Amino acid sequence: MANIKSQIKRNRQNEKRRERNKGVRSELKSRVKTAVASGDDDAVRVAVKKLDSAVSKGVIHKNTAARRKSRLMKKVNAAG
């Protein structure tokens, strides 16, 4: 347990951010899964939009998003 006031505050902030990021990551996974399963253009578009949104929020790195988008498109094109 931290004794320093600034570290106690930092721990609180980190916990809030972790919870927020967890929700974003969870939604990302579910959107990508539905896009792959359905192969629908709208579902793919929403998944790509969510990936870009996660990058802008700082939840994932831009190269990670690019890689995931590439894999998503590869799977969708192979299925359809």
DSSP output for 33-58: HHHHHH--HHHHHHHHHHHHHHHHHT
**Mean pLDDT across 26-46:** 94
Percent of the chain clearing pLDDT 70 (strictly above)? 100
Residue that is written with structure tokens 């505050």 in the block = 9
Distances in whole angstroms, Cα of residue 13 to Cα of each of 20, 44, 74: 11, 33, 38
> What pTM was computed for the model?
0.84
Q: How far is CA 68 from CA 27, 40, 71, in A?
A: 14, 17, 5
What pLDDT score was predicted for residue 1? 78
Over residues 67-80, mean pLDDT: 92
The overall average pLDDT reported for the chain is: 94
